[in-house]
Amino acid sequence: MRSWHQCLMILVLATCLLAHYLTPASSQMLYLIQVRVVDQYSVDYDGVTVEVFRGELVDSGLTAKGTWTSKPLEGGGRLYDVVVFNGEEKTQTVRVASSNVYVEFTMERRSPAPILLVSDVKITPESVTVGGNFSAELNIRNVGEVKAVTAVLNLNLSYPFALVGSGTAMNIGELEAGDNCTLRCTFSIDSSARTRTYTIAYALSYSDLNDYTYMSLGEFGVVVCGIPEIQIQDITVDPTQLNPSTDGLLTIQLINVGTEVARDVTIKILNGEELLTSSIAYVGQIDRGTTKTIIFGIHVSPEADEGIRFLTINITFKDPAGKVYSLTKNYEMAVYEVQPFIPTYYYYFIGGAVAAVIGIYIALRRLGVEIW
């Protein structure tokens, strides 16, 4: 019995000595802190250092693509500082309670990273006109620190532009840090386009060697101009026959068949002396596709020479940039002799009739015929 009691006492003493080093089951609860690092395009980062502190460094490691999970942490209801290093330090304090904690950090960009941008756009010809074509040279430069791969430039085209001979996606491929390349494309402009400044939007998408994707957006401007073209649509004279001392109207109808507004339209008529009451008229602005009617007064001088008079109609106008255009047209205006109230050939007819009557009368008298 003594031996059995001795063994029991030894076991109790051993249990008491070990109890100090045993952790209760309730304190063995382990919690996880999950950290996710993404960029502004919601692309996961890897290779970013994550450190977890609880007064002292608890865990440290590099993120893998997706979610990085810390080692198990002891204790409940404790605060932990999760620090992410990606060229700059970002810290977020989290509370570990009775469930896993998920912490997300948004980074502006991964460093180092490729950075593609359009550094220059050259438009040829410089004056882009409605209904025509133009070429654009876009210089793409990698101003980042590492090589860009699978780079593509996508053009976001809308009316009035269309690409000629190519699609809207243009392949760049690889571009080393500090290098540049030039993309060339040709555009057409719809013939009904309005003249103004348009923008063409684009998106540069590319990756780095770790298969992280990036995108940068931008746009460049195109000034679309047109050419005003004034034509004389119709000329009428009222009355249609002019004589000395006649008053009337000379009506000229103009139309702008060009692709740009015509400004400061002016008409000047030469060689209209003794025929017109005025020889100059300021018309002003004529929009594309519209007409305007200008009326000149007619007053034929009593001393005006009879016959055909050649009037020279000169029209000048400008485009919005101030470039001057002109149009010249000759017009025949006839001045006729004033006709007597009874035409001359009527006198011959009347005279012949009177002579015939007198002849008949004389003949009948000689025959002894009494007429009255």
Amino acid 19: pLDDT: 45
The DSSP output letter for 244 is T
Which residues does the chain have with pLDDT short of 50?
1, 16, 18-28
- For the domain 30-106, what is the CATH code? 2.60.40.10
Amino acid 57: pLDDT: 86
Amino acid 21: pLDDT: 45
Domains 30-106 and 116-225 share a fold: yes
Amino acid 41: pLDDT: 62
Looking at 3.30.70.1230, 2.60.40.10, 2.60.40.790, 1.10.10.60, the CATH number of the domain 230-335 comes to 2.60.40.10
Amino acid 7: pLDDT: 57
CB atoms within 10 A of CB 300: 20
SS3 sequence of 92-104:
EEEEECCCCEEEE
CA distance 212 to 84: 18
CA distance 63 to 49: 6
Amino acid 326: pLDDT: 95
Q: List Cβ neighbours of 351 (8 Å cut-off, separation of 6 or more).
A: none
3-state helix, strand, coil in the chain (%, to 5): 10, 50, 35
Is there a contact between 266 and 230 (Cβ–Cβ < 8 Å)? no
Is there a contact between 63 and 52 (Cβ–Cβ < 8 Å)? no
Domain borders along the chain are 30-106, 116-225, 230-335, 344-372
CA distance 347 to 38: 112
Amino acid 94: pLDDT: 84
Amino acid 56: pLDDT: 83
Give the CATH H-level superfamily of domain 116-225.
Immunoglobulins (2.60.40.10)
Amino acid 322: pLDDT: 92
178 phi and psi angles, rounded to 5 deg? 85, -10
